A = this chain, B = another copy of it.
Amino acid sequence: MARSDKRYREAYNHLLDFCAGLNVGDAIPSEKVLCEEMAVSRTVVRRCLGGFEENGLISWEGRDKRLLRLPQKSDRLDELDGGLSSDDLEQRFFDWILRFDVAADTPLSVAELSRTFNVPQHELKEFLAGLSRFGLVTRRRQGGWMLRGFTKDFAVELSDFRSVLELNAIAHLVEAPVDHPIWGQLKQLRAQHDDLARRIDRDFHEFSKLDEAFHRAINSVVANRFTREFQKVISLIFHYHYLWNKAEEKQRNAAAIEEHLAIIDALEARDEGAALKAARAHLRTSKTTLLSSLRYHELG
């Protein structure tokens, strides 16, 4: 019934490792140095030292700390797993939404999500609060949350917003200096697209990854924290919906590769008009695909 001492346990084991590099009789560095070594506060360091002393690992009197014996396997504290899974909650949440095709206006139970994702409730609440900024979820009057979700309106607005950002990126890109890393990336992307185009019959599944890389590269030229944050959400949603929409996947992907290449052509020719035109066409296709994938689900 309080915060976990995970940090202490980790620090303790870290300090064991550190001591393993010393010889018996050596002096242990000052508390401050240990803080920096383990990236933790002095309070924790002192607690660790206290534990060490109690277990006869070190002597500790005033500022004289000495290693009495080398640490053994049995000295380690077991680190209760925990955090492992709360790292990429975002990824897993979207995965869940899209994989199970959770309907719009579904009430989300924090308790239930907390169990399925193995993440403490308050973390989920913070996460949902963040999503509510993007209008993906809302608070319900009677408590709890609701997925506002992937309705047609949502898809249209998301696509439109994406277009605005991406066309802006394209406009920036044609102005980029010749030594900007993007040109190297585009060259490489072109090669990857050409390569995949040749073996599209078999490996059409690989396109999803390539698509993400392509759009990320394009958007990377706009050094803007707002764009970047949004891009993360946008690309996740598009990515999963594409994966999900199996209808005519091969043709779609083949067509998309051509569209990407057309954009790259125009960009490398520094032809802003052509680049914007090609990008608009591609974004239009994307939007249609996203919408049709929704319809597909509504029927199925």
Contacts and interface: CB of A to CB of B under 8 A. Distances in A.
A133 B130 contact: yes
A142 to B, nearest CB: 7
A125 B40 CA distance: 22
A161 to B, nearest CB: 4
Nearest to A222: B160
Interface stretch (A195-203, A225-233, A270-278): A225-233
A287 B129 CA distance: 30
A160 B133 CA distance: 20
A164 B157 contact: no
A154 B225 CA distance: 8
A224 B161 contact: yes
Nearest to A41: B142
A143 to B, nearest CB: 9
Contacts of A227: 161
A133 B229 contact: yes
Contact of A133 (B122, B133, B161, B164): B133
Interface in A130-165: 130-135, 141-142, 154, 157-158, 160-161, 164-165
Nearest to A126: B129
How many protomers of this protein does the assembly include?
Answer: 2
A168 interface: yes
What band does the interface of chain A fall in when counting residues whose beta carbon is under 8 Å from B?
Answer: 20 to 34
A161 B226 contact: yes
Nearest to A228: B135
Interface in A222-274: 223-230
Say what secondary structure dominates the interface of chain A: helix
A135 B165 contact: no
B39 A134 contact: no
Contacts of A157: 223-226
A18 interface: no
A296 interface: no
Interface in A68-96: none
Contact of A229 (B125, B134, B224, B225): B134
Nearest to A148: B225
Nearest to A168: B164
A36 to B, nearest CB: 12
Nearest to A141: B39
A133 B226 CA distance: 8
A214 B83 CA distance: 47
Contacts of A133: 130-131, 133-134, 229
A134 to B, nearest CB: 6
A190 B134 CA distance: 33
13 contacts: A39-B142, A40-B142, A127-B129, A129-B129, A129-B130, A130-B133, A135-B226, A135-B228, A135-B229, A154-B225, A158-B226, A160-B224, A164-B164
